[in-house]
Amino acid sequence: MLVNADIYVKDIPGSLVRSLEPISAVDGNIVGVVHNREQVIDGMISVNLTFNVEAEKLEALKTMWKSRDVVIAQMGSVTGAVPMDYILIGDANSNFTEKLMKEAAESIAFSSYEVNTSSYTDGEGRTVRISAKLETKEDAKKLDAFMIESCAKKKLTCIRGLTA
């Protein structure tokens, strides 16, 4: 996935190189580096990085940066957000769906999500369509497991999108 990150590194010689080494260490490929020497906070300089890396290796990268005193101000995928779609059939009203998505967001990193509730009651309840974008494949897997478990508890039919 292509990732864009704002990081802060110490304003001392060699710190930029030390901040880039972990990207190579996780087999990432640096696409762009903007070294913004005008933006200094507490003796640290802002660096904007764009790089390709496997989603599964992001956590290892964060750990390495932390050990090198690199502060991550913002990090997110530029493209490659993982889309996931669900349709819930049964007694799925808007209160339930709202609560469901709040609970999901506590442990899963969403780039965005959209909930559509049917106006037609279809006998038992309203049908709900959830379209989400997740930051990593790991998050997508977590959301799949979460939806399966939550729908089973509520006795809803959960139709999941097919992922490769």
Partner 1 sequence: MRIFISGFGNIGLGFFETLLIRETFLKNRYKDDPVTVVGVVDSKSYEYNDDEYKICGFCTIGSKKTTGRLHKDRNSLSCREIMDMVDFDLLIEAGPTNITDGGEGLENIRHALRKGKDVITVNKGPLALAYSELSALAEKNGCHLRFEGSVGGGMPIINLCNEALVGQRIISIQGIFNGTCNLILSRMDSGIPFEQALREAQQLGYAESDPTYDIKGIDAASKVSILANSVFNRNVTFSDVSVTGIDTVTGEAVRMAAEKGMVIRHIGEISNDKLEVAPRLIPKNHPLSVSGSLNKAQVITDMAGPITVSGRGAGKSETGSAILSDLIWIMDRRNA
Query: How many CB atoms neighbour CB 162 within 10 A?
Result: 6
Query: Could you tell me which stretch among 30-38, 60-68, 70-78, 114-122 binds partner 1 (CB under 8 A)?
Result: 114-122
Q: Please, what is the minimum distance in Å from the beta carbon of residue 121 to partner 1?
A: 9
Q: Please, what is the minimum distance in Å from the beta carbon of residue 116 to partner 1?
A: 7
71-110 residues in contact with partner 1 (CB under 8 A) are: 85-87, 89-90
Measured from the CB atom, the residue of 17 and 162 that comes closer to partner 1 is 162
What are the tokens at 128? 């709900």
Measured from the CB atom, the residue of 20 and 104 that comes closer to partner 1 is 104
Q: Which of 61, 63, 78, 68 lies closest to 44 in space, CA to CA?
A: 68
Number of residues forming the site for partner 1 (CB under 8 A): 19
Query: Could you tell me which stretch among 8-16, 40-48, 100-108, 127-135 binds partner 1 (CB under 8 A)?
Result: 127-135
Q: Which of 50, 52, 118, 150 binds partner 1 (CB under 8 A)?
A: 118
Whether 159 and 148 have beta carbons less than 8 Å apart is answered as no
Gap between the Cα atoms of 43 and 61, Å rounded: 23
Q: Which of 84, 87, 148, 71 lies closest to 111 in space, CA to CA?
A: 84
Q: Which of 127, 132, 135, 139 binds partner 1 (CB under 8 A)?
A: 127
Gap between the Cα atoms of 24 and 92, Å rounded: 46
Gap between the Cα atoms of 161 and 106, Å rounded: 22
In the numeric block, the tokens 């802002």 are attached to: 46
Measured from the CB atom, the residue of 3 and 130 that comes closer to partner 1 is 130
Measured from the CB atom, the residue of 48 and 118 that comes closer to partner 1 is 118
In the numeric block, the tokens 């300089």 are attached to: 45
Given the rule CB under 8 A, which residues bind partner 1? 85-87, 89-90, 116, 118, 120, 122-123, 127, 129, 131, 157, 159-162, 164
